[in-house]
Amino acid sequence: MKYCYLTDPGRVRERNEDSVVIIENDNGEYLMVVADGMGGHKDGEVASSIAITHIATRFKEISSVGNKEDCINWIQGVVKEANALIYKYVSLHPESTGMGTTMVLSVLTPSFLLIGNIGDSSGYVIKNNKLHKITIDHTLVNLLVKSGEITEEAAKNHPKKNVLMKALGASTDVEMDIFNVELGVQGIFLCSDGLTNMLDDDQIMKVLKEKVPIEQQLEKLVFKANNRGGSDNISIAYLNKEED
With respect to residue 66, please indicate whether it lies within any of the assigned structural domains: yes
With respect to residue 140, please indicate whether it lies within any of the assigned structural domains: no
With respect to residue 91, please indicate whether it lies within any of the assigned structural domains: yes
CATH label of the domain that carries residue 92: 3.60.40.10
Mean per-residue pLDDT of the chain: 92
Q: What is the pLDDT of residues 182-210, one digit of tens each?
A: 999 999 999 999 999 999 999 999 999 99
With respect to residue 51, please indicate whether it lies within any of the assigned structural domains: yes
103-137 burial by CB neighbour count: b if 16+ within 10 A, else e?
bbbbbbbeebbbbbbbbbbbbbbbeeeebeebbeb
Q: What is the pLDDT of residues 16-68, one digit of tens each?
A: 999 999 999 999 999 999 999 997 667 899 999 999 999 999 999 999 999 99
pLDDT at res. 243? 56
Q: What are phi and psi of 74, to 5 degrees?
A: -65, -45
With respect to residue 48, please indicate whether it lies within any of the assigned structural domains: yes
Count of domains forming the chain: 1
- Residues whose CB is less than 8 angstroms from the CB of residue 39 and which lie 6 or more positions away in sequence, other chains included: 17, 47, 96, 98, 99, 100
With respect to residue 152, please indicate whether it lies within any of the assigned structural domains: no
> Which domain does 177 fall in, by range?
2-133+166-240
Q: How far out from the chain centre does Cα 150 lie?
A: 25
pTM: 0.93
Q: What are phi and psi of 176, to 5 degrees?
A: -80, 135
With respect to residue 153, please indicate whether it lies within any of the assigned structural domains: no
